Amino acid sequence: MLIETYADLICPWCYIGKRRLARALADRPRVQVELRWQPFQLNPDMAAGGMERSAYLAAKFGGTERARQIHLVVEETAERDGLPLRLDRIRRTPNSFDGHRLIRIATRHGLGDRMADALFHAYFVDGLDIGDRDTLAATAAGLGFDFAEIKTLLNGDTETTAVFNADATARQLGLQAVPCYIFNRRYALSGAQEPASFLPLLDLGVEEQEGVTAAAD
């Protein structure tokens, strides 16, 4: 079963949703899954260097107090899912485009899912600026990639067109919020759903696969 996750690296609900999907998959060990990350930028017009966090929160939520209330809900939800977030450590809201490029580079080596996890952790736990190419290269080095090689790739145009096109496809599909999960390019599930919400679609995938196998026999 192909599961494509449309998400952004600066979206805490995408991080929570990723953990919940993993829990659902653990409950369905029979399901053979290919997980594929698809980019969706929540702030496609963000400056390349990002912006100061307090200014971003004031613009997005109308003030730091409102942002604090929302963050508290997010952190409490994440903690229940085993993801202790530290949103107070974040000093800049980054442009996530290069992060999406890095995930696609890692995907070539079968490490796209692990790279997404590493970038989520770097941002939401360590408070790092994942729009900074040195930070991205260091994160990749933690997964065994060569720092200098990744920095060179990011300084070039590797995967730039692919990320642009994938993000454009998401908008053409009508996506306006993430996370959104597409199963076998036929069924969609939006939002950071509880693990149980994924199970019917995972079961459907098994039934369809067994039906194809039986027909082939």
Look at residue 211 in the predicted model and tell me its pLDDT: 57
User: Residue 208 above 80 pLDDT?
Assistant: no
Structure tokens at 5: 């996750």
User: Residue 205 above 80 pLDDT?
Assistant: no
For the chain, the helix, strand and coil percentages under 3-state DSSP, each to the nearest 5: 55, 10, 35
DSSP SS3 for 128: coil
Q: Model-level pTM? A: 0.92
- List pLDDT tens digits, range 160-198: 999 999 999 999 988 888 999 999 998 999 999 999 999
Distance separating alpha carbons of residues 79 and 26, to the nearest angstrom: 19
Helix residue ranges per DSSP H, the chain? 12-26, 53-61, 64-80, 97-107, 112-124, 133-141, 147-155, 160-172, 195-216
Give the torsion sign (CA, 97, 19, 188, 3). Answer: positive
